[in-house]
């Protein structure tokens, strides 16, 4: 998950700090949206997995 978070951070930096063509910006924004959606899916899956654990271990 950390690799994905690093990727998201890099894409945000690229959007903020780099001079991009419209096509590059659009592609980077799409990649960022996809990465953020994947991270959200992974976090939801992690939450579901944790919810199945018995309360005694928490």
For 7-32, what is each residue's pLDDT tens digit?
999 999 999 999 999 999 999 999 99
| Average pLDDT over the chain, rounded to an integer | 94
Give dist(CA 58, CA 42) in Å, integer. Answer: 21
Give dist(CA 50, CA 52) in Å, integer. Answer: 5
User: CA 9 from chain center: how many Å?
Assistant: 8
Q: pTM here?
A: 0.84
Q: Are 33 and 15 within 8 A, CB to CB?
A: no
């Amino acid at each position: 998950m950390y690799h994905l978070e690093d990727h998201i951070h890099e894409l945000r930096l690229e959007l903020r700090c780099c001079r991009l063509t419209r096509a590059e910006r659009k592609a980077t924004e799409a990649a960022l949206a996809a990465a953020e959606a994947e991270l959200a899916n992974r976090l939801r899956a992690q939450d579901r997995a944790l919810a199945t654990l018995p309360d005694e271990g928490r």
